Amino acid sequence: MPKKTVVDKVLCYVVGEGRLLVFRHTDHSYEEVGIQVPGGSVRPGEDPADAALREAREETGLTGFTVVRKLGEVEYDISPLRFEIQRRHVFELALHGATPERWGEPGRPRRRAGAHPVRVLLDTVGGRARLQSGQGALLGRLFD
């Protein structure tokens, strides 16, 4: 059996006014993709904090993010989807300025080529939404 690849990823807990910015891809079923936070890959040579800021901008189309703190790292095995282990660097981010309730609505242009339409949900921190694929593993550290 081949060895699993370890891949560096970032997850962004964007918090404002006691709410966590979460979303779901509306072109997939809820069962398929669930509720997620912004995140993505760390590029070769890129600092994880810089990757978190870049991914938050790319995933949301919003600007004005700052890193509040790194909450930690967790490993997540995404098999059988891909034969890899994700080393997830989890950051708390602040968004300065107004946060729209929604973006990527039907009939509006996509944020970038190949991007999935999304619907923004601003959930109470520690609230009802269960995050997909272990993305909520460090939510409790927001209260440390």
pLDDT tens string 110-133: 444 444 555 566 666 655 567 888
Output DSSP code: residue 45. T
Q: What is the pLDDT of residue 120?
A: 63
- Most confident region among 40-44, 62-66, 94-98, 131-135 by mean pLDDT: 40-44
Instruction: Tell me what percent of the chain is helix, strand and coil, each rounded to the nearest 5.
Output: 15, 40, 45
The full set of domains in the chain, from first to last, is: 5-143 (3.90.79.10)
Q: What is the pLDDT of residue 52?
A: 98
Question: pTM above the 0.85 mark?
Answer: no
**For residue 71, what are its two tokens?**
């909450």
Residue 8 has pLDDT above 90, yes or no: yes
- Out of 61-65, 71-75, 124-128, pick the least confident: 124-128
Residue 27 has pLDDT above 90, yes or no: no
Residue 134 has pLDDT above 70, yes or no: yes
User: In DSSP terms, which residues pair with 6 in a beta bridge?
Assistant: 85
Of 23, 11, 44, 46, the C-alpha closest to 103 is 23
> pLDDT-derived band of residue 35, with 50, 70 and 90 as boundaries?
confident
Torsion of CA 15, 13, 47, 3, to 10 degrees: 180
Q: What is the mean pLDDT of the chain?
A: 81
